Structure 1
């Protein structure tokens, strides 16, 4: 073999100037008293030598180097009496360099409004319709679930359900905003002072074309994951508070509220009187 010079491996950016005399045989590990050190040399007929700079190494690294040296003795691919550059590079890639899993940085989800809006009314699976409380009584503004007679259908709330596309992958369904048609009121889920999330109608005057998680105006409280089950039902889970769903009670005239599952309330809804419209974004 006619390979001149040294092949030096080091895991530190600072190369040591210290060189070690050749030794015969497989190799040697030394640890001077004044600091941790590791020297691994392989002398094959004075042609190949592998050296490590004297910096602290783990036992795993020591074992890897010993294995690498043994495999290096068996490399036979030569070019003009020397190692081919590609062969030597492939050797180090396969035997010396360790793989490490790189995890992506946490990114803030951003939701962009699509050009689709679905106008509809919403009923729970017991055929109770969502209505505005102040349309029937003098109570504060909120939603109730009520079984309406044929002569009371004018009290149905018509919703404009806007679809959103997220910059991050989601497995919980399509993000939507539920606004009351011809108003600036939207269903929202929020909490304060460590309390449980509550459902209310939020007045919005700004643009909702783009909603970012952690928005200072809490526009992210308007977002819900709509998940369809079967061919009939949809559920609405808060994007801001995972695990909390829009629910109704079995009885009439009860307030529509946020609940965690499992619960004896229903979180399954049907979308009635559907009409899809195109938005100008």
Structure 2
């Protein structure tokens, strides 16, 4: 079928689009993108959202498909749900032309959920800047926008939390001071964001804080602390993570603890994982085996599975 025919079907809510048709919207050229932009606004909100979600699913299943032109168009959609989904759809996009767009969304989008997704997306560029894979000017703009959002007490708490988490990848005294400041806030979401930032920093100086939060009453915080413990990578965290994997009442926290042990690696982590197989829930078996495989790969990347 032709592009125009598929486009007409896309614009007709009564028609169900097949994966074969949707694939034809991959790698749109300039003329096709312009035609797509003409039709797109006329679709009902629900159909636009479903289309974006379908494009995301297809791209996840097939790395050769590229719907970036569609996702970029949808960043300015009238529907906040579509805009948020479009930001997520660009999670593999690394070109610098998206930085200014994401910063503008973070600062000006009227919907907090979209601003939150933008902060998460800017985290990719924050990490690239830390690894010297981004121009200094671009890195400075990313840092400024994330710090501005994280420090803004008028901003939605979850947006601030995601901003400080993203900023955690960018080392520096100003980042450490901001993490400490946000961590002292009363809001659970902000505290969790600060601990997520600690994990992204991989800074061993924060380990006492992380170990303390493994005992927090809130499962969201224990989950964040488990992740952070894994990223920091110190064997001091092995025993409390093992205890969390076996005893925690929250399944997601248990799984986070098991994954963290796989990231830490080493003999003590392997012993802890074997203990979890005997002491823990059978439902953790697959996660434990994945963690063991990660450790073995780290020890010998050329080892045959």
The normalised TM-score by structure 2 is: 0.18
Bigger RCO of structures 1 and 2 (CA < 8 A, at least 6 apart): 1
Higher gyration radius (CA): 1
The normalised TM-score by structure 1 is: 0.19
The structure with more strand, counted as a fraction of residues: 1
The structure with more helix, counted as a fraction of residues: 2
